[in-house]
């Protein structure tokens, strides 16, 4: 048996689709996340995420942005996209916050926090630990 510890707050009930500026060389398809070469990010029903990070609280204005950002960072942690794209993912977060009505002052605060983190959570070394338990069969 293999599993990870779950630290998630939310789980999608239906697919969410975002147009992003990130353009992988080939389509990326995982169980819960797809990113096409034309930048369409589909996050599938069942995907779990922890919302926005740090001292920022989740609101209707930043919820979509947090979902998109977490999925993009996850693709980087999985090694399916270069970690060097973390700034682009952060820019997607800011664009979505603005689109959903987050005041620009708050977006600037969010971005300042993301700059301090410096893409740390896009690093493959930050993947959740996978626990393995031997089966008796």
Q: Which residue has the higher pLDDT, 77 or 128?
A: 77
Which helix or strand (DSSP H or E) is residue 105 part of?
A: helix 104-117
Tens digits of per-residue pLDDT, 81-125?
999 999 999 999 999 999 999 999 999 999 999 999 898 888 887
Tokens for 106, please give them.
């708050």
For the chain, which residues make up each domain, given as ranges?
2-132
DSSP 8-class letter at 137: -
pTM: 0.89
What confidence category does residue 132 fall into, taking pLDDT thresholds of 50, 70 and 90? confident
Average pLDDT over residues 51-66: 87
Q: What are the angstrom distances between the C-alpha of 136 and each of 1, 28, 51, 133?
A: 10, 35, 37, 10
DSSP 8-class letter at 2: E
CA distance 137 to 134: 9
């Amino acid at each position: 048996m293999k599993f990870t510890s779950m630290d998630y707050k939310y789980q999608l009930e239906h697919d969410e689709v975002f147009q992003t500026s990130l353009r992988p060389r080939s389509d990326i398809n995982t169980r819960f996340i797809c990113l096409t070469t034309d930048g369409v990010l589909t996050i599938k029903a069942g995907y779990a995420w922890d919302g926005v990070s740090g001292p920022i609280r989740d609101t209707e204005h930043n919820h979509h942005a947090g979902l998109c950002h977490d999925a993009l960072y996850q693709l980087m942690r999985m090694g399916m996209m270069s970690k060097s794209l973390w700034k682009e993912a952060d820019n997607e977060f800011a664009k979505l916050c603005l689109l959903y009505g987050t005041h620009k002052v708050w977006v600037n605060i969010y971005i300042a926090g993301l700059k301090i983190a410096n893409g740390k959570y896009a690093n493959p070394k930050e993947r959740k630990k996978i626990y393995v338990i031997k089966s008796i069969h």
